[in-house]
Amino acid sequence: MQFSAQQIAQLLQGTIEGDANVCVHSFAKIEEARPNDLAFLANPKYLPHLYTTQAGIILVNNDLVLEKPIAATLIRVEDAYSALATLLNLYNSRQKPLVGIEQPCYIHETATIEEGVYIGAFSYIGAGSKIGKQTQIFPHSYIGANVTIGQNTTLYSGVKVYHNCQIGNHCILHAGVVIGSDGFGFAPQTDGSFQKIPQIGNVILKNFVEIGANTCIDRATMGSTILHDGVKLDNLIQVAHNVEIGENTVIAAQTGIAGSTKLGKNCLIGGQVGFVGHIVVADGTKINAQSGIAKSITTPNEAYGGSPAFAYKENVRANIVFKQLPDIEKRLREVEQQVKNN
């Protein structure tokens, strides 16, 4: 598959600088690209590679100022990273999807499988479950009873979806994801033991949700654990029972969200963040990696960091002071000694 700079620029509504007829047929990182590759530059850290790369075409932002001539053809766009995503999605859509049911696998007689579905070998589809059009379920996946999966959704190998859970359209669940495992609910007894609290709710994933590999989302004790449209979760995340995550919130790896916490829309959560249970986080909140959120955040569009977390700018200043503490202590002891000597 080959595209010219002219074709790509028309698709992206970009501006060409260089040879409009140059063609590429693959993608590569800017530091590794060859003449038949398309690369992109969005992060300023990679700017030096712009002048040494062998890429045939490079996507760059409109505001990029060149410091010296380059050999590649540039296509200037509003957002190079977003433009790359558009091209990669187009490229991926041209790959022929798998269709059909491989054997051996088990599909209950009451399950509904719509047209264009792929079900890989050694998969299990439980009673009353419904699989929507063009959905792909890769080998060794488990779909429990009365599960609903929408259209054009992909479950990669080894995904487990427990009974009564609902997955929307255009979702992607990567290998090892578990949807609907029991919430961590136990009632302490007078003899020191713990009695299990049955978890009778479910998990609902809305549309365009993507879940990273080996992430676990627990079913609700009662009601539903809900991830709204456009939520993106990284690998190795724990979402506890009755959590609700608002539209287009993005969460990086190894984050843990305790039970009944509600995250707002358009939040950006760094890796290894911990949330206590039963709190609310406002829309548009940004949280730095390795932070601990111990209470509700009620003001929208603010940034936080630290453990326990507080305002990000204050946290940065506090860390600067923290690094200076040994020197401050040393000087304080010197002053104390001078006072004693006088």
CA Rg value for the chain: 26
DSSP assignment, residue 297? B
Catalytic residue (choose from 163, 174, 228, 241): 241
Other CB atoms within a 10 A radius of the CB of residue 268 amount to 15
Token pair for 144: 């429990």
- 26 beta partners: 37
Other CB atoms within a 10 A radius of the CB of residue 66 amount to 11
All residues at 6 or more sequence positions from 324 whose CB lies less than 8 Å from its CB, including other chains: none
Q: Judge whether 49 counts as a catalytic residue.
A: no
User: CA 318 from chain center: how many Å?
Assistant: 30
For the chain, helix, strand, coil in percent to 5 are 20, 30, 55
String of DSSP letters for 174-208: -TT-EEEEPP--EEE-TTS-EEE-----EEEE-TT
Which residues have a catalytic role annotated?
241
